[in-house]
Amino acid sequence: MYRSIAVVLLCSGAVAYGLDTPTIDQSLSMKSVSAAQISPDGRYVAYVVQQTNWDENEFATQIWIAVPATGERYQLTSGKKSSGNPQWAPDSRRLAFVSDREGKRQIYVIAPAGGEAAQLTTEENGVGAIAWAPGGDAIAFTSSGPDSKGQKDRKEKYGEFEVIGGDYTMNHLWLVKAPADIPADKKQLPKPEALTKGEQFSVGSFAWSPDGKHMAFSASRDPDLSSSGTEQIYVLDLADRQVRKLLEGGGPNSRPEWSPDGREIAFVSSGGSSSFFYTNRHIEVIAAEGGTPRVVTKDFDEDPNLIDWGPAGIYFSAWQKTNRHVFRVDPATGVTGRISGPAEFLMGDASFTRDHRTLAGTGAAPNRFAEVFVSAAGDFAPRFLTDFNGQWKEFRLATREVIQWKSADGTMIEGILMKPTDYDPGRKYPLLVVIHGGPTGVDAPTRGADRTYPVERFVAKGALVLKPNYRGSAGYGEKFRSLNVRNLGLGDYEDVISGVDFLIGKGMVDKDRVGAMGWSQGGYISAFITTYSDRFKAVSVGAGISDWATYYVNTDIHPFTRQYLKATPWEDPEIYKKTSPITYVNRAKTPTLIQHGDQDKRVPPPNAFELYQALKDRGIPVKLILYRGFGHPINKPKQQRAVMEHNYEWFSKYIWGEEIPAAATVSNVERP
């Protein structure tokens, strides 16, 4: 079904290692690629390139075009602000995209050959997802629409306030005409029309029917993340604007896609599971008129990401251990086959031509950076159209390999081991454990520019880096993802420490120089390591949970905790205590750096302050750094620079015994 990609990989530019290691600024400045979209006729591939704009302090994105027939590629959009989410018109003659170049995200249209982009919308609160109508004469989009008179009057009279759980601005579907000649005068632009209205639901994803007469969409009762379990599938009749709800219960149900004949709709469903954060979701199919859905991926043991429905079947992507692939399932038989390859390959996004014979996407083999490629869908052989690996050819980079070990309960755990290129098997190296978030995240052996943790600098400094795919990680099936239910922290710690012991046992690691770091769920596991273990010499806790009860009452995603711990703090305080790092703080001995965004709603800052004060009271070396104006991710380059420098300073001191000049740190509690 697919051929070897060894030859085509060479065509994208083999890395010739130099003697240098990228600096933190160089790593932050590297370009990366995403969102490859092939035109319906296959003549072009639009893709998004991220590049750092230090002057604007932005990771800015712009749209590029590649021409598969000639290998030509060129930049299509430009400017200080970002452009992204390219969407081809059905005739391949125009490309719609969204950009915040005028402040709010608006829709723009441009020819693939270039020229001036025409602004199509002036939405007061911006736009979300976009999709061309099958006829190419209009574009549907999601938006909250303009503020109502009541909202404006309230703000004018009372100022800003929010009624928690009762102040929602619903997201709805809108339609705007897209004439061949879009007026330059914004006052003459077509006026968008609301396709859905009211306070009954908030729209998520959507798709046009092949004949353009209907739209399928998913919607939850409100935009609150805690209401994600209420998401259901609806069908809108464009003729009379009537909305039908296709399902009652069995959610969350999302990501609708129409069959080529318009008679059925595929969607992703949890099947009504009350534990949808870690149990398998499946692709189900229902008649467009409604009825009883049927599961078509019941034998597929991973979460499918629905991509498209073509003549040969339904396409989806999914993790398979440390790899990610595109699959096709026959909706009539449920037979599923992998169409991408080889086995060790990481697929990003994917899109198809109108006839579904050719696909484009981003992908990478182990120890490579992601590139844009095209391939036949039936005989997978990616031909790479970009050379982002070439940016790194002068640098000496760590190698990555997949390793396995047994955890304390016998569970097999995989992880990525990073080594210096001049690795000496006769030496014992310091070991730094970098723990991914999620918990359903996955670490893979492909390369990417460093963010948050300067791992290439650490390896160049003489360390090994282990990235464990601890229990709960995606790619290993539902049973594995469920192993940390009512076992958070405890089971995760055993997966980490058993990996450390595995490497020590192989004679690779200096047991007296081991550190750990992670963000989000990785920050939680790092906090658990700080309070639970005396095996580590330094820890960095990024946006981590220190007390599950504190987290539960402050977070914006309450069902997460209830599903993993199977109770609220009021129903089972013991499980919250057992799995909380703060419970074990009297055992803590490890110097700990705590990093947190001061506006974080996912893991609110009280978690950071609770751990900080407890460690400080215990006399443990601790530093808390708050990044001002940031939520859960620290997503601007200058603050990312600070995050990475703070980590580099911390581990240099406690693992290598070096006092690095603290260029980015002024005081013990710093707010950059």
CATH number for position 504: 3.40.50.1820
Instruction: Give residue 16's pLDDT.
Output: 36
Residue 549 within a domain = yes
Kindly state the tokens that stand for 325: 């692939």
Instruction: Give residue 664's pLDDT.
Output: 58
Kindly state the tokens that stand for 540: 């960095």
- CA angle (393 as vertex; 387, 394 as ends), nearest 5: 150
Instruction: Give residue 591's pLDDT.
Output: 98
Three-class SS string for 47-81? Answer: EEEEEEECCCCEEEEEEEEECCCCCCEEECCCCCC
Q: Could you tell me the CA-to-CA distances from 600 to 409, 440, 547, 568, 630 in Å, in that order?
A: 35, 20, 16, 22, 7
Q: How far apart are CA 149 and CA 613, in angstroms?
A: 46
Residue 137 within a domain = no
Q: b/e for 640-667, b at 16 or more Cβ within 10 A? A: bbbbbbbbbbbbbbbbbeeeeeeebbee
Residue 26 within a domain = no
Instruction: Give residue 63's pLDDT.
Output: 98
- Determine if residue 356 is left, alpha or beta; phi over 0 gives left, psi from -120 to 50 gives alpha, anything else beta: left
Q: In 57-163, where do the E strands start and end?
A: 58-66, 73-75, 83-88, 95-99, 106-110, 118-119, 130-132, 138-143
**How far is Cα of residue 571 from the mean position of the Cα atoms in its chain?**
33
Q: Which domain holds residue 632?
A: 398-670
* Residue found under tokens 């994803």: 205
ω into 591 cis (within 30 of 0): no
Would you report the helix, strand and coil content of the chain in percent, each value rounded to 5?
A: 20, 30, 50
Q: Residues 227, 205: contact at Cβ < 8 Å?
A: no
Q: How far apart are CA 79 and CA 65, in angstroms?
A: 16
DSSP 389: G
Q: What is the pTM of this model?
A: 0.94
Q: Could you tell me the CA-to-CA distances from 470 to 370, 542, 667 in Å, in that order?
A: 24, 17, 35
Rg (Cα) of the chain, in Å, rounded? 25
Q: How far apart are CA 231 and CA 402, in angstroms?
A: 37
Tell me how many domains the chain contains.
1
Q: How far apart are CA 401 and CA 418, in angstroms?
A: 7
Residue type, 218: S
Q: Could you tell me the CA-to-CA distances from 103 to 81, 82, 100, 634 in Å, in that order?
A: 9, 10, 5, 21
**How far is Cα of residue 157 from the mean position of the Cα atoms in its chain?**
40
Instruction: Give residue 17's pLDDT.
Output: 34
Instruction: Give residue 273's pLDDT.
Output: 87
Residue 297 within a domain = no
Kindly state the tokens that stand for 212: 């353009």
Q: How far apart are CA 504 and CA 453, in angstroms?
A: 23
Instruction: Give residue 666's pLDDT.
Output: 45
* Residue found under tokens 């914006």: 556
Secondary structure element (H or E) that encloses residue 322, with its range: none
Q: Is 615 exposed, middle or buried (0-12, 13-18, 19+ CB in 10 A)?
A: buried
Q: Residues 20, 36: contact at Cβ < 8 Å?
A: no
Instruction: Give residue 150's pLDDT.
Output: 86
Residue 251 within a domain = no
Residue 74 within a domain = no
Q: Which residues pair with 346 in a beta bridge?
A: 324, 364
Residue 377 within a domain = no
Q: How far apart are CA 634 and CA 645, in angstroms?
A: 13
Q: Mean pLDDT per 10-residue run, the chain (672 residues)?
A: 39 43 96 97 98 95 98 95 97 97 95 95 96 98 91 90 86 97 93 95 97 97 90 96 92 96 97 90 97 96 97 97 97 96 92 97 97 96 97 95 98 98 96 97 97 97 98 97 96 98 98 98 98 97 97 94 96 98 97 97 97 98 98 97 97 93 52 42
Residues in Cβ contact with 507 at an 8 Å cutoff, skipping those fewer than 6 apart: 428
Residues in Cβ contact with 418 at an 8 Å cutoff, skipping those fewer than 6 apart: 398, 399, 400, 455, 459, 464, 465, 466, 467
Q: How far apart are CA 346 and CA 398, in angstroms?
A: 18
Q: Which residues pair with 74 in a beta bridge?
A: 65
Q: State the number of CA atoms in the 13 A half-sphere of 36 facing the CB.
A: 32
Q: How far apart are CA 527 and CA 556, in angstroms?
A: 21
Q: Residues 312, 328: contact at Cβ < 8 Å?
A: yes
- CA angle (65 as vertex; 60, 70 as ends), nearest 5: 150
Three-state DSSP state, 323: strand
Q: How far apart are CA 78 and CA 179, in angstroms?
A: 23
Instruction: Give residue 250's pLDDT.
Output: 83
Residue 526 within a domain = yes
Which sign, positive or negative, has the C-alpha torsion 78, 81, 86, 88? Answer: negative
Residue type, 633: P
